[in-house]
Structure 1
Amino acid sequence: MINHDEFQRLVTQLYSTVGELEQMFPGRHFTPDGHMVGSIGECLVADAYGLELMTASNKGYDAVTATGLKVEIKATQANSVAFRSEPQHTICIKILPDGTFEEIYNGPGALVWEQFKNKPLPSNGQFQISLTKLRKLNQSVAAQDRVAQASGSE
């Protein structure tokens, strides 16, 4: 079991350090990206929703619920996320500098994957979808089709 408060404090500290570095070196960006954002997002979601994380780079899903639902976690600081395959369920978040996150989408992966239907696979093997589109899709997800946050989470 992780210490939720300590985890949030460390993420907040990380983003505070990024801000200080950017003030020290105007015009330079120190935004965490790539694996770091993905790992932070996976841990934030696993903590908030009571999920069991799989090993890093597990193909097709990052965590499972107590009932065995496979969940692909997508985290970003930008305005889109990318998918390589259709997940069983997906939770997409936007990480905020204070160590919290905004839930963008929480629902069946098929609803997201449907957006790529009849589109050619991009050369990098990943379909991009905007957070705006995901927010709109999220509005159509029924409560019973969402993974509920664990009690005591944000």
Structure 2
Amino acid sequence: MDQVIQRKIEEALKGLFSAVSMLQEAYPGKPFTLDGRLVGDIGEVVASLAYDLTLNEGLTKQHDAVTRDGRKVQIKTTFGTSLTFPVHHVPDYYLGIRMNRDGTFEEIYNGPGHLVQAELLGRKATKTGLHGALMPMLKRISQKVPEADRIPKR
């Protein structure tokens, strides 16, 4: 491998692992691993700081947090243009956010999971267990969710 490329890879990895260590120190309850969970873990922590919910510790199936009144919340995060929704279960609440590089975020969807599921009834199940390419649909549905059916902000 080209020495210049090798050095750049080594420097980038050093920076990534340094960032992961900083994230783990700031919020010890999440692993922030570089195996595909990093974006989700970041989104969950950002959501827990912005919304009135409590994160589950570690990894839990089918939901990431609970509201004050005990409803389960699934949080999905992207830095891009695609959010997913589960095929095989419906969360009480679904919170979809798009992160910005500066740590701010845009709320894409905040509301009951059954409203999203109703829009997806005609879609075929996928091998991944997730419906994808939902950003426009989620934005449209979210505009119709009454304030009382949203996870309140802190």
- In which range does the TM-score fall when normalised by the shorter chain? 0.7 to 0.9
Give 2:112's aligned residue. 108
Give 1:71's aligned residue. 73
Give the Cα separation in 1 of the matches to 2:126 and 2:148. 33
- Structure 1 position 33, deviation (Å): 8.2
- Structure 1 position 75, deviation (Å): 0.5
Q: Which amino acid aligns with 1:67?
A: D
Q: Structure 2: which 5+ residue stretches go unaligned?
A: 1-14, 20-33
Give 2:25's aligned residue. none
Do structure 1's residue 124 and structure 2's residue 97 form an aligned pair?
no
TM-score (norm 1): 0.72
1:1-154 aligned at under 5 Å gives the runs 34-84=36-86, 85-150=89-154
Give the Cα separation in 1 of the matches to 2:100 and 2:73. 21
TM-score (norm 2): 0.72
Q: Which amino acid aligns with 2:96?
A: C
Structure ID, larger Rg:
2
- Structure 1 position 65, deviation (Å): 1.3
Question: Cα deviation per residue 1:21-73 (whole Å; 9 max; x = unaligned)?
Answer: xxxxxxxxxxx883110000000001111321113331121001111111110
RMSD: 2.0
Give 1:27's aligned residue. none
Q: Structure 1: which 5+ residue stretches go unaligned?
A: 1-12, 18-31
- Structure 1 position 129, deviation (Å): 3.9
Q: Which amino acid aligns with 1:104?
A: I
Say which SS state the counterpart of residue 132 (structure 2) adopts: strand
Runs of 4+ with >2 A deviation: none
Aligned residues with identical type, % of pairs: 39
Preserved contact between residue 98 and residue 105 of structure 2 (Cα < 8 Å): yes
Give the Cα separation in 2 of the matches to 1:98 and 1:33. 22
Q: Which amino acid aligns with 1:97?
A: R
